[in-house]
Structures are given as C-alpha cells and as structure tokens.
Structure 1
C-alpha cells in the first residue's frame, strides 16, 4: 500500500460545483476532522474546509491530489483497493466521512467505524440502473436498491435523509444518497436544514 501525505496553504484550483447533497448536509457535521474519501480534485474538501473543518482529502490518483489543495486540507495518497491494503484510520477518528461517486464495498465497515460517536456519514454515488446512462455500468460500482439504508441499519446509524432516483446534473444518472449519523449525534431540530 502506498501512502503519502501533503499539507498546503497554497491557493486552490478553480472551484467546481459541489454536490447539492453534500452542500445540504455538510452544515450538520460536528466540529472536528472530516475525511473526504476518494476526493478527486478536492471540490468537497475545499467546501468542508470553508466550513471550518480540518479535512483529510484521500485519493489514489496523485494528479487529482495535486488539485485537491487549500487551506486546512491535508492530502493523502492511498490506494485502498490495492492487494493487501488496510484501512489506515483509527476507530472514532472523524467527525464525518464524505463520499461521492465512489463505491468499494469492502471499506464500508471501516468507514463507519472511523466515525466519532456523534459522527456523520454523507454518501452519494451511482445506483443500479445507471447503465442506461453510460458509465459506471459495472454492478460492482452501482449501489443495489436500498443498499445504503441496509448499511445504516447494520451499523446502528440513524438516517437523517435518504434519496434514490434520477438526477440531471452534472449529467443524467441514477444515484443513491444518504446522510446518517452515529447514535450520539444530538436530536436537535435546529441542527437540521429545513426542507
């Protein structure tokens, strides 16, 4: 497993639109470090850092990580799908884990375990049926119907919001989205955005 790390205060790359799902639920993340898993060019890492969180932006692509820079962002080059790779983070480390457009099912247990007792999981990726719109079309990269709901139930998470269906932006696709919290997340309506 290859691991590298870089911290920078350099100016970031031009902003790319962030996911509306991430934008909606990021404000409920408690203070603390956030993991942007499979961060790509860092669009979500920069948004999360702008909300005051220290962010660990992780990806396997060094070229993408070069773009995932900004104040309060640490980048980490890790290929979690390599043979023999292990999850490098301690249980309870992160206030939140944010994942978009990425699915590697063997990581699910470790991702949830790395959430703090009041941590937040914000997850959004492609769902079965997306093959009608193009890539990804491999079932290994498409969530089954209700799959993230099953993860939440299996791991004792409380579902704050869930959606499954077609989106048009940034391209037509079938997606599944969940925002779920660990048991110690406070049940205060004031923490949740209005519909």
Structure 2
C-alpha cells in the first residue's frame, strides 16, 4: 500500500515533453492520479481525461474540472475497473504496483502512448518510497515494454528537481500498423 497523496501542482516535465505524441483530443487515463495535476493540465491542453485513484479526497479536488471524469477504484485490490483497451494514452507518475502492470497496459489502444515516470532502486537514499516493492529495478520499464512497444525515450538515474530522487521514466508507443509522429523538442 502506498502513502497518502501530497498535492503537487506542476505537471511533470516528462509528461509535458511527450504529451504532444497523444492523438489530438485523445482519451487519456491518468492512472493513480493523486492530486490530479496531470489530469488538470492534460484537459486544459485539449484531451479528455479519466482520472482514477482510490483516494476520494484526491478525486474530489477534480470536481467540476472541464474534460475530466473521475473514477474511484483501488488499483491494487478488488475488481479491475477497466474492461478493455480504450485509451489513446496512459500517464503514470510516482506509482508502481507490479501485479496489475500488464492489466494497465492492456487499457492502451494500439498506437497509444504510455508516459511513465516513477522511483527506482537507489531512492531509499533520499527518502520515500524506500520499499523495493515500489521501486523499479534498473532497466525494468524497458524490459517490461520490449515485446509490444516502441520506446521513444527512456531515462533512469538521479534527478535534483523537483527534489532529489532516483527515477526511471519512459515514453513508449503500443505496437500498431501506424507510423507515429515524434514530438518536436520544446513543444507542448
């Protein structure tokens, strides 16, 4: 089980960098959305967003936000809240629950974009999370996505903003027949 959400207002630079790869007016899943910083920003730049989290207080902060719908669900236990692949993109930040990783990926349509950024081993030097169950192993996202995704960008290591942390992040496109447009550096 993860810790309660601490509101963070600014969307991740990683999410902003690759949001331009999402189909125009696409349907985006903000998975384990927490305070909703990405759901709000993605909606404001033109996407329809479904924000899912187990914290009703976090979801309440999104009430009335145009182009954002919310879904209260425990992503770690209980019934799986998504029946089929229906999203043009999935955004995940600061969250990892391996037992449902494949189910989450199945929610992405072919040609859809995965933008994922979370903590990895080594983070315990800087604080929470420190439990290895919630920390990626080196190269883990690449290994998990290799068979069915085209990797657009991958990074892992120490960052110093917005705080010192050890992270791993990926932007990847789910396999399809379509050719995808790469983002323009500095756009979005």
Q: Above 0.5 in TM-score?
A: yes
Deviation of the 1:188 alpha carbon: 4.6
Match of 2:43 in 1: 49
Match of 1:177 in 2: 169
Match of 1:9 in 2: none
Greater mean deviation of Cα atoms: 142-151 or 14-23: 14-23
Once residues 170 and 87 of structure 2 are traced to their aligned partners in structure 1, the CA distance between those partners, rounded to angstroms, is 17
Q: Which segments of structure 1 move beyond 4 Å, counting only runs of 4 or more? A: none
2:70 equivalent among 70, 75, 93: 75
Q: Tell me, yes or no, if the aligned pair for 1:33 and 1:94 is still in contact at 8 Å.
A: yes
Match of 1:115 in 2: 108
Once residues 184 and 169 of structure 2 are traced to their aligned partners in structure 1, the CA distance between those partners, rounded to angstroms, is 16
Once residues 177 and 168 of structure 2 are traced to their aligned partners in structure 1, the CA distance between those partners, rounded to angstroms, is 23
Q: CA separation of 1:36/1:185 partners in 2, compared to 1, >3 Å: closer, same or farther?
A: farther
Q: CA separation of 1:39/1:88 partners in 2, compared to 1, >3 Å: closer, same or farther?
A: same
1:86 equivalent among 67, 73, 79: 79
2:185 equivalent among 184, 187, 194: 194
Once residues 26 and 158 of structure 1 are traced to their aligned partners in structure 2, the CA distance between those partners, rounded to angstroms, is 16
Give the TM-score of the pair, scaled to structure 1.
Answer: 0.86
Is 1:66 the counterpart of 2:60? The answer is yes
Once residues 167 and 185 of structure 1 are traced to their aligned partners in structure 2, the CA distance between those partners, rounded to angstroms, is 35
Q: Which runs of 5+ in 2 are unaligned?
A: 1-6
Is 1:145 the counterpart of 2:143? The answer is no
Q: CA separation of 1:131/1:15 partners in 2, compared to 1, >3 Å: closer, same or farther?
A: closer
Deviation of the 1:102 alpha carbon: 0.3
Match of 1:4 in 2: none
Match of 1:21 in 2: 14
